[in-house]
Each structure stands twice: as C-alpha cells, then as structure tokens.
C-alpha cells in the first residue's frame, strides 16, 4: 500500500527540514504532501529548496493564511495513496511510529486509527491545564458520538483515503479535530487507537494552539453532532 503523508505548515522554520527528513526516512512506500499556509518566517522559501531536491515531496502554497483545517483540505485534494497520515510540521509527533499506526488498517481490522498520547506512550511533562482541556473535549465528544476515544485532539489521525470521497470537511482552523471525529463516527467506520509518544513544546518553542481554540472546539463538537 502507498501512504500519503499530509503536512500542514505555518511558520515552522526551525523544524521543517528535520520533520521532513524524519518522515522521509520511514521505510514505507509514500508520498509527502506539504501545504504552506502562507508562512512569513522563511519556511516558504526553505520549502521551495527542499521540493527542488526531493522528488517525493510535493509542496502546495496558499496565497493567504487559512488555518490548519483549510490546509489539510488542500492537501487531501492531492492524495494518491491508499492510506492518509496527518503529520504536524513540528517535532511533537514521531514519524517512526507510522508502522504501528498503520498496522490496524493494513491487517484489516480498522478504517481509521487515532494515535493516543494518553494510553501508555512516553511524553514530555508540560501543561496540566492543556491536559485537562484535552480530556474534557474528548469526554464531551465521546458523549455525543458514542465513541470511547482517549485523545480526540491528537494530530495522528490515519485513515483509508477512500473515506475522503464520503466526508465533507469544512473547518478552517483547529476545529478539524472534532469535525473529523464527529463525521467518521456517523459513518460507522472501524476506529482503533494505538499509544504514541509525545514531545510537546512550549509557546516559546513555537506552540500555536491556545485556550481560545479549545472554546471554539467545544462549540464545534455540538455543531457537527447536531446541526451539520
């Protein structure tokens, strides 16, 4: 099977080369699709050089900043693989874990796999209230979708690419996570979780999501369950 790794990018000049190198080293058949969401820190120019040297890296450039969800939709339009992996452009998530993320799909058990930061993998010790927020959003999402996920907000969502033909995604920012979860739950797909490691970063190191995004996500959990 061919895997499409979709990477939304915004202002990640310090990590973009390293994350692409790590993804490239994973020994699976793959294409790498990068969407630059109008970075202004030099990431855009760095990506142009990388794409010129790497045949399996396709870079798409937004002409205005639209958000993570919008960048993902742009990337999904170029997917040619059998399975999609969503990868953040920072170094919080480790591409070396692709094989165990893919396993439930490749062995026929799952259609969608979530990589959970909360079921046993090593993680950097950081923000208590971020942890509480993540667990609260997951709990409310589970109550409305009737799933028993432990980490709805995880970056690592892996799924069969054919699902993209049947799902109409709309969120432009970080609302992608609750939207995707609500919509795959309605499709009655086989969903698995596997433990992953997590090397979180601080705001001084480039972390972008804030409590305001958590409030928006809470509203979107209800919106995509009852109104969309």
- Of the listed ranges 36-45, 58-67, 196-205, the least confidently predicted one is 196-205
State CA 82 to chain mean position distance: 17
Partnered with residue 30 across adjacent β-strands are 3
Q: Which CATH number describes the domain made up of 3-226?
A: 3.90.550.10
Q: What is the pLDDT of residue 22?
A: 96
Q: For residue 180, what are its two tokens? A: 């995707």
**Mean pLDDT across the chain:** 91
pLDDT winner (highest mean) among 27-36, 191-200, 205-214 = 27-36
Q: What is the pLDDT of residue 208?
A: 64
Q: In sequence order, which ranges of the chain are alpha helices (DSSP H)?
A: 16-25, 43-53, 68-76, 98-106, 128-145, 176-186, 211-226
Q: For residue 69, what are its two tokens? A: 């969800």
For residue 192, the surrounding DSSP H or E stretch is: strand 191-195
């490239």: which residue's tokens? Answer: 24
Closest CA to 209 of 3, 42, 8: 8
Q: Are 183 and 169 in contact (CB under 8 A)?
A: yes
Q: For residue 222, what are its two tokens? A: 């209800």
Percent of the chain with pLDDT strictly greater than 90: 72
The tens digit of pLDDT for each residue in 98-111 reads 999 999 999 999 99
Q: What is the pLDDT of residue 128?
A: 82
Which pTM was predicted? 0.90
Other CB atoms closer than 10 Å to residue 23's CB: what's the count?
21
The DSSP output letter for 126 is -
Give the span between the Cα atoms of 121 and 165, in whole angstroms.
33
Give the span between the Cα atoms of 20 and 17, in whole angstroms.
5
State CA 163 to chain mean position distance: 15
Q: What is the pLDDT of residue 191?
A: 97
Residue-by-residue DSSP string for 9-35: ESS-TTTHHHHHHHHHHS-S-EEEEEE
Partnered with residue 36 across adjacent β-strands are 9, 61
Q: Are 90 and 15 in contact (CB under 8 A)?
A: yes
């Amino acid at each position: 099977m061919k895997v499409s790794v979709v990477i939304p990018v915004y202002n990640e000049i310090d990590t973009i080369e390293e994350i692409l190198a790590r993804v490239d080293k994973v020994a699976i058949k793959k294409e790498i699709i990068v969407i630059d969401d109008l970075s202004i820190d030099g990431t855009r120019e760095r990506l142009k050089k990388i794409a010129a040297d790497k045949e399996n890296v396709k870079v798409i450039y937004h002409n205005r900043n639209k958000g993570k969800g919008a960048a993902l939709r742009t990337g999904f339009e170029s997917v040619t693989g059998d399975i999609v992996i969503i990868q953040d452009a920072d170094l919080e998530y480790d591409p070396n874990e692709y094989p165990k993320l893919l396993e439930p799909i490749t062995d026929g058990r799952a259609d969608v796999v979530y990589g959970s930061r909360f079921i046993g993998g090593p993680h950097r010790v950081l923000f208590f209230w971020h942890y509480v927020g993540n667990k609260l959003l997951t709990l409310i999402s589970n109550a409305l979708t009737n799933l028993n996920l432990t980490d709805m907000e995880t970056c690592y969502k892996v799924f069969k690419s054919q699902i993209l033909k049947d799902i109409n995604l709309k969120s432009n920012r970080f609302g992608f996570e609750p939207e995707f979860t609500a919509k795959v739950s309605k499709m009655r797909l086989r969903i698995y979780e596997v433990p992953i490691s997590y090397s979180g970063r601080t705001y001084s190191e480039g972390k972008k999501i804030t409590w305001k995004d958590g409030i928006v996500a809470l509203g979107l959990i209800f919106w995509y369950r009852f109104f969309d």
